[in-house]
C-alpha cells in the first residue's frame, strides 16, 4: 500500500483512531493489507473481518505479535496495536481501496482494467498480467480474488510506481460488480461472456446479463469496453458503452471482431491459431490447454493493445505461459496417463468446453476418461444442466464417465439414459471411492479430465491422481 498516516487512514475509512503510546496520528504505515492474520508480517495492516465461521477480532493479538502496525476493527480489542474502529470492516476495506487507487492515479499514470464474465475471468486476468508485467509494475489478483474482500485487497497492493491494475470482478447477485468496479472506475472494461454460471443467485441468464453490464456502466467516459463479438448478450452492451461515451473494441472468432482468431487447432500440448488484426496476421501457440482459452487470449491481447502494447509483443509473452492457474486445465500425471485437473470451477459452458478439449486432445488408441462432479449455484437450472453435460459426454464418445457426489447424480443418470449403460458410466458418493476405482481402472494412454465446481472438492482428487500417475 502507499504510505499514509494513521489519521489519513482513519479519514479514508470514516473510523476512530485509538493509537498506542508509541504512535501518533502522524505515524505512517505502508505495509500490505490483509484479512488473514497468518499472512501478516512486520508493518502490515490487519483488517478484522467478522466471518461465517470465525471472527477476525479473535486474531488481532496474533497479528500484533506478527508485527502488524495497525488493525482496522469493528470494536476495540485488548491488544498492543493501534486500532481504527469502524462500523463495517468490509466497507472500510472498500473505502480504503478507493482512496489509495485515487491517490495513485492522481499522482502518476496508473491505468485500470476490469474483467468480468461468466467464465474465463481468472485465466484472462493472468494472461493480461503476463503481457503487462514487461511494460511496468503490474498488480493483479492472487487466485480468484474477485469478491467484496478479494478485489479491494488487490487494489490495496498498488504503489506509487504501479502502472497497471488488473481487477477481476465476480458476483453472485446484481449490484456487486457495480460496487466493486465503482471503487476504481476502470479505464478498460473487458466482458468475456454471459452464461449460466451463478444463475441460481442472479435468478436467470437475463439477470446475469444485467449484472455483467454493470462493468461497462462503470468504465470512465472516454474509456474502452473490450467485448466478445461472438456472444449475442455481450453484443448488447455496445449500446450501453456508446451512451456513456465509451469506445468499443471487439474480439472473437467471427469476422465482426476487430481482433479475431482463425485456423484454431487443439492438441495435447496446447492450442494454435492465427491472430488477425487489420492487415496483421500473426501465429499464436498457446501452451494453455483448451480451445476456449483462445477467446481469453484474444481478450487479453485486445486490452493490452489499448494500453499501447504491440500485438506481436503481446503474443510473444502469451506463448511463455504454461498454465493459466492451478486447478484450471492443469496438466498432471505423465505422458503415460495424463491428468487434466480443471476442478476449481464449473458452469455448463466451461464443463462443455473442457469435455470438448478432452475429446480433441486424445489421439487414436488413447482412452478418454471424464471424472465429473457437481456444478454449483445453478438454482432451478441445476437438474437440466447436469442432464445436458451427461448427454454431451456420451455424444463426445468419452469411454469412461466417472461421476462423483450426490449432487451430480443427475449427470450420471443422464449418461446412462443416453447409452452408457454397459459400465462406461459409473457413480461414486465420495472422491475416495472414485480414487480407489480409478487407481485400478486407468491404464497406459488414458487422457483423464477432472472437472467440477470448487465446492465439490474434486480438485484434490485431481491432485491425488496426478501424483499417483506421475
Annotated binding residues: 117-123
Question: How far is residue 214's CA from residue 207's CA, in Å, rounded to a whole number?
Answer: 11
pLDDT of residue 106: 94
Low-confidence ranges of the chain (pLDDT < 70): 196-203, 420-422
Residue 354 DSSP symbol:
H
* Residue whose grid cell is 477481476: 168
* Structure confidence at residue 135 (pLDDT): 97
Q: What is the pLDDT of residue 199?
A: 58
* Furthest CA-CA distance within the chain: 75
pTM greater than 0.85? yes
Helix (H) or strand (E) holding 384: helix 382-395
Write out pLDDT tens, residues 66-77.
Answer: 999 999 999 999
Quote the pLDDT of residue 421. 64
**Distance (Å, rounded) from C-alpha 91 to C-alpha 94?**
5
- The 10 Å Cβ neighbour count of residue 243 is 10
| CATH class of the domain whose range is 330-468 | alpha beta
How far apart, in whole angstroms, are the C-alpha atoms of residue 127 and residue 328?
13
Q: Which residues are annotated as a binding site for ATP?
A: 117-123
Query: For residues 232 and 238, what is the distance between their CA atoms, to the nearest angstrom?
Result: 11
The partner residues of 138 in beta bridges, in order of sequence, read 164
Domain range annotation of the chain: 4-89, 108-318, 330-468
Average pLDDT value over all residues in the chain: 94
Measured CA to CA in angstroms, residue 84 lies from 5, 71, 159, 348, 366 at distances of 12, 6, 22, 44, 61
| Residue whose cell numbers read 505461459 | 321
Distances (CA, A) of 94 to 36, 51, 128: 16, 16, 24
CATH number at 108-318 = 3.40.1190.10
Q: Classify domain 4-89 at the CATH class level.
A: alpha beta
Amino acid at each position: 500500500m502507499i504510505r499514509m498516516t494513521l489519521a489519513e487512514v482513519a479519514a479514508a475509512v470514516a473510523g476512530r483512531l485509538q493509537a498506542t503510546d508509541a504512535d501518533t496520528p502522524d505515524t505512517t504505515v505502508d505495509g500490505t493489507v490483509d484479512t488473514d492474520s497468518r499472512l501478516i508480517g512486520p508493518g502490515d495492516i490487519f483488517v478484522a473481518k467478522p466471518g461465517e465461521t470465525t471472527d477476525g477480532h479473535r486474531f488481532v493479538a496474533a497479528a500484533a505479535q506478527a508485527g502488524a502496525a495497525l488493525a482496522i476493527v469493528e470494536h476495540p480489542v485488548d491488544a498492543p496495536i493501534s486500532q481504527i474502529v469502524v462500523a463495517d470492516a468490509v466497507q472500510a476495506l472498500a473505502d480504503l481501496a478507493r482512496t489509495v487507487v485515487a491517490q495513485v492515479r492522481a499522482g502518476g499514470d496508473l491505468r485500470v482494467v476490469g474483467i468480468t464474465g461468466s467464465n474465463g475471468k481468472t485465466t484472462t486476468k493472468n494472461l493480461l498480467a503476463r503481457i503487462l508485467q514487461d511494460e511496468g509494475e503490474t498488480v493483479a489478483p492472487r487466485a480468484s480474488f474477485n469478491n467484496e474482500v478479494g478485489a479491494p485487497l488487490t487494489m490495496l497492493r498498488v504503489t506509487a510506481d504501479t502502472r497497471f491494475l488488473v481487477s477481476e470482478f465476480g458476483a453472485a447477485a446484481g449490484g456487486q460488480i457495480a460496487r466493486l468496479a465503482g471503487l476504481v472506475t476502470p479505464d478498460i472494461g473487458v466482458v468475456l461472456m454471459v452464461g449460466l454460471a451463478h444463475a441460481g443467485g442472479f435468478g436467470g441468464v437475463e439477470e446475469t446479463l444485467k449484472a455483467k453490464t454493470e462493468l461497462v456502466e462503470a468504465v470512465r467516459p472516454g474509456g474502452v469496453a473490450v467485448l466478445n463479438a461472438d456472444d449475442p448478450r455481450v453484443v448488447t452492451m455496445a449500446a450501453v458503452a456508446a451512451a456513456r461515451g465509451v469506445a468499443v473494441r471487439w474480439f472473437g472468432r467471427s469476422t465482426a471482431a476487430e481482433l479475431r482468431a482463425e485456423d484454431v487447432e487443439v492438441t495435447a500440448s496446447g492450442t494454435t491459431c492465427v491472430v488477425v488484426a487489420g492487415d496483421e496476421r500473426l501465429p499464436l501457440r498457446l501452451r494453455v490447454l483448451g480451445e476456449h482459452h483462445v477467446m481469453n487470449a484474444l481478450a487479453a491481447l485486445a486490452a493490452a493493445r489499448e494500453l499501447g502494447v504491440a500485438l506481436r509483443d503481446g503474443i510473444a509473452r502469451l506463448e511463455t505461459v504454461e498454465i493459466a492457474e492451478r486447478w484450471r486445465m492443469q496438466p498432471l500425471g505423465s505422458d503415460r496417463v495424463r491428468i487434466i485437473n480443471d476442478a476449481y470451477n464449473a458452469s455448463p459452458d466451461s464443463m462443455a468446453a473442457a469435455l470438448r478439449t478432452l475429446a480433441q486432445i486424445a489421439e487414436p488408441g488413447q482412452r478418454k476418461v471424464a471424472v465429473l462432479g457437481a456444478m454449483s449455484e445453478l438454482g432451478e437450472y441445476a437438474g437440466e444442466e447436469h442432464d445436458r453435460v451427461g448427454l454431451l459426454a456420451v455424444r463426445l464418445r468419452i469411454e469412461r464417465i466417472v461421476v462423483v457426489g450426490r449432487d451430480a447424480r443427475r449427470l450420471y443418470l443422464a449418461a446412462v439414459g443416453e447409452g452408457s449403460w454397459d459400465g462406461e458410466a459409473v457413480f461414486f458418493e465420495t472422491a475416495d471411492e472414485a480414487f480407489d476405482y480409478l487407481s485400478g481402472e486407468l491404464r497406459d494412454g488414458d487422457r483423464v479430465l477432472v472437472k467440477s465446481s470448487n465446492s465439490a472438492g474434486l480438485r484434490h482428487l485431481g491432485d491425488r491422481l496426478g501424483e499417483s500417475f506421475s
